[in-house]
Structure 1
């Protein structure tokens, strides 16, 4: 393998629920296997960063509890060596700032793996990143920060589904898959990752909007016929947008995604729901309602249910 294309330095940019989950697994593995030629670095902030610097990051799951200590943790990319692989794990509203921070560290062989909710994340990053390889991806895992330096996994198998950069379709994923194998990270390489990305978006956007609109957990929405029907209608609108974009979603995808909600712990809240509940906190509403409405308008796809639900949410939040 070309030495320039090997992975040595890994950066987890954003060590919240998703970044902390993978960061803990990677750092823990590297801490306990000195034969691995990888160095893992974290970009975090606030009390979470201070806790990680003092005692590493802890991941609590039903399976086990592990702690990993990164090679370094900081709130400035300038403090770190140029990474070969960057996990971008911020919320959608922090994506532009994250991209601005990592751009000076990107070279032609840098691999960027975005693991955040959204169906147009690749396009948003590529708009501002001229070089490097960006691998469109999605991940199924339910996690959140339980406290400074502590991540709690509430569901999902942590599988990363990713595929080729449309700009570099001949990209060889072996350095990444070798790394994932060494870290025992669950993954699957897709020739075309977009059906997976849109399937994930169809689920999370519909349930994000429904959980906030009805003020119910994922389990409560799944158990309520009216709430479930609203989620179904939003899913239909998202599916129509995906079809208009040339993305062919799996057969019976809406039925499958609705059934999947019942597999989550009954009291699971969406990240949008948790953000809305925190007074004064920025939320991901635009990622869901805003994106669906904009793309629907651009593609001539009618989105009346999303418009009604999102407008009601925005009105409610404005009145607080």
Structure 2
């Protein structure tokens, strides 16, 4: 099975580097100095989960004709470049190709299906902390690394099970689920609520915990996600809200999400995942008739940052 890793950043480099150790049919879509370094020296991975190693994909290119049609694609990019990624990815996709997004957001298949040629668009989640240290070099510092995949209608394809088996062989925990909708919403509830709270209070976990109304906002943020999910037919476990709050309370004082880090570091909203993480919740609130005041205020704050 030909597998393409599209986007060799922290996630793509970690997953692709691991897979290239155990399979000779792993391809990388990468350009510039990153692609050049991997072609010449291989993919260097320093991982808390897998150890340190260098692996070599079958081919590294950003030319679709060089790569050819793929059986399965792991798509890893920033949410704000998803539309462009789908355009670039289209030439390697056939009606039989399975595409699995591994990026921030919720049920991204719904966003991607109109952007790709006819194919099988799955949904996927990964629980890992990793980043690109430099060209051809990825560092994974924490997280289980677990990947969960599935079709949102529950009709899972054999290619997903084959990919999960290969990931497991590479040392990455992986499974195919009949309920990817819940898994995707649960991950989004954690990541999205955290981003909303940090933007709402304009500060890291320590600053948040110093605000007199922060507990009410924590509960409200995750309730907003759960209420929108419910309106879309996805029911969270009864314990999820309290589990989320307790997890937030355990964060070190300097904890932030990558979205808040980007915005507070000087990036404009359109150059970040603001629309995918905060804006999409505001849109889904309107679609479902669910009020999302925490996400709406956080989105407004994000859109106002770093303007001239």
Q: Same fold (TM over 0.5)?
A: yes
Whether the aligned pair in 1 keeps the contact of 2:128 and 2:140 (CA below 8 Å) is yes
* Match status 1:46 vs 2:44: no
How many residue pairs match? The answer is 303
Distance 1:283 1:176, change over 3 A: same
Distance 1:75 1:104, change over 3 A: closer
The one of 66, 71, 87 aligned to 1:84: 71
Whether the aligned pair in 2 keeps the contact of 1:240 and 1:301 (CA below 8 Å) is yes
The one of 138, 148, 152 aligned to 2:139: 152
Q: State the match for 1:26 in structure 2.
A: 19
Give me the whole-angstrom Cα distance separating, in 2, the residues matched to 1:212 and 1:126.
30
Distance 1:188 1:221, change over 3 A: farther
Query: Secondary structure in 2 aligned to 1:195?
Result: helix
Structure 1: which 5+ residue stretches go unaligned? 1-6, 31-37
Normalised TM-score (structure 1): 0.85
RMSD: 2.5
What's the CA shift for 1:85?
1.2
Structure 2 counterparts to residues 69-148 of structure 1, below 5 A: 69-148=56-135
Q: State the match for 2:195 in structure 1.
A: 208
Whether the aligned pair in 1 keeps the contact of 2:75 and 2:100 (CA below 8 Å) is yes
What's the CA shift for 1:284?
0.7
* Match status 1:57 vs 2:46: no
Q: State the match for 2:300 in structure 1.
A: 311
What's the CA shift for 1:261?
4.3
Distance 1:279 1:176, change over 3 A: same
Normalised TM-score (structure 2): 0.88
Whether the aligned pair in 1 keeps the contact of 2:42 and 2:57 (CA below 8 Å) is yes
Structure 2: which 5+ residue stretches go unaligned? none
Give me the whole-angstrom Cα distance separating, in 2, the residues matched to 1:221 and 1:246.
35
Give me the whole-angstrom Cα distance separating, in 2, the residues matched to 1:264 and 1:201.
17
Whether the aligned pair in 2 keeps the contact of 1:144 and 1:151 (CA below 8 Å) is yes
Give me the whole-angstrom Cα distance separating, in 2, the residues matched to 1:204 and 1:29.
31
Give me the whole-angstrom Cα distance separating, in 2, the residues matched to 1:240 and 1:67.
45
What's the CA shift for 1:229?
4.3
Distance 1:52 1:221, change over 3 A: farther
* Match status 1:300 vs 2:289: yes
Structure 2 counterparts to residues 222-233 of structure 1, below 5 A: 224=210, 226-227=213-214, 229-233=216-220
Query: Secondary structure in 2 aligned to 1:112?
Result: strand
Give me the whole-angstrom Cα distance separating, in 2, the residues matched to 1:170 and 1:61.
30
Give me the whole-angstrom Cα distance separating, in 1, the residues matched to 2:156 and 2:52.
39
What's the CA shift for 1:102?
1.9
Whether the aligned pair in 1 keeps the contact of 2:19 and 2:167 (CA below 8 Å) is no
Q: Deviation digits for residues 26-83 of structure 1, max 9, x if unmatched?
A: 12334xxxxxxx4111112333223322322222233422222222222232321221
Distance 1:45 1:304, change over 3 A: same
Give me the whole-angstrom Cα distance separating, in 1, the residues matched to 2:166 and 2:95.
19
